[in-house]
Amino acid sequence: MRLQRHQIYTDIYDDSEWLIGVVENLLSITRLNDGRLKIKFTDQLLDEVIAESLRHISRKHDEYKIVTDCEELVLARMDVRLIIQVLVNLIDNAIKYTPPGSVICIRGIKADGKAQISVEDNGPGIPEEMKPHIFEMFYTGKTTIADSHRSLGLGLALCRSIIEAHDGTLVLTDHAPHGCNFTFTLPLSEVTLNE
């Protein structure tokens, strides 16, 4: 009986967390699209932003191996709240759509005059027919995950909108031999650090 009660509490907690996430994503997209979301740019170190985002990810992450590989002293111009939201969305997606035990790697580098962050996994990947649609709002595809009836497909649409508001790009590529790699760019800061 106690185990049953604990499971009910856990389910209620998970459902409320999911609902809060959906509402926050909807509000953010609405504010972003009608210009009411004020973007506050500051200069931030990529490794610190990645570390902070890992403190906000799903409780289910213990079943996954999450590794980071970030160049030191890469300073990027961003609204740190929004970029953390993008990273949390991308990492939570990797957790949700890959089996337990999968490896999720977050990389941060300086490339082609921009800061570049990628979230890659070694899961089953995304079918070719779904790839052109994954950044569309409300697109969920034919998924087989346990809670796929809940997925409203807002996460990736919001992520792309946020990155475009930073004059960056968010793209999906395959991660060899299997899996996904979501990569986005941000402008490098004009401030230089004394190394």
Whole-number pLDDT of residue 132: 81
Is this prediction's pTM over 0.95? Answer: no
Question: Whole-angstrom Cα distance, residue 96 to residue 142?
Answer: 14
- Does residue 135 register a pLDDT over 90? no
Helix, strand, coil abundance in the chain, percent, nearest 5: 40, 25, 35
Instruction: Supply the DSSP string of 90-117, one letter for each residue.
Output: HHHHHHHHS-TT-EEEEEEEEETTEEEE
CB neighbour class for 19 (10 Å; exposed up to 12, middle 13-18, buried from 19): exposed
- Does residue 150 register a pLDDT over 50? no
- Does residue 145 register a pLDDT over 60? no
pLDDT in tens, 8-40: 888 788 778 767 766 776 677 677 777 777 788
- Residue with tokens 């009660």, as numbered in its chain: 5
**91 neighbors 83 (Cβ within 8 angstroms):** no
Kindly state the helix (H) or strand (E) to which residue 42 belongs, with its residue range.
strand 42-45
Angle value at C-alpha 125, between 144 and 157, nearest 5 degrees: 80
pLDDT band at 141 (very low <50, low <70, confident <90, very high): low
- Residue with tokens 């992450």, as numbered in its chain: 61
Token pair in block for residue 95: 């957790």
**How crowded is residue 118: how many other Cβ atoms within 10 Å of its Cβ?**
19
DSSP class of residue 128?
T
**187 neighbors 75 (Cβ within 8 angstroms):** no
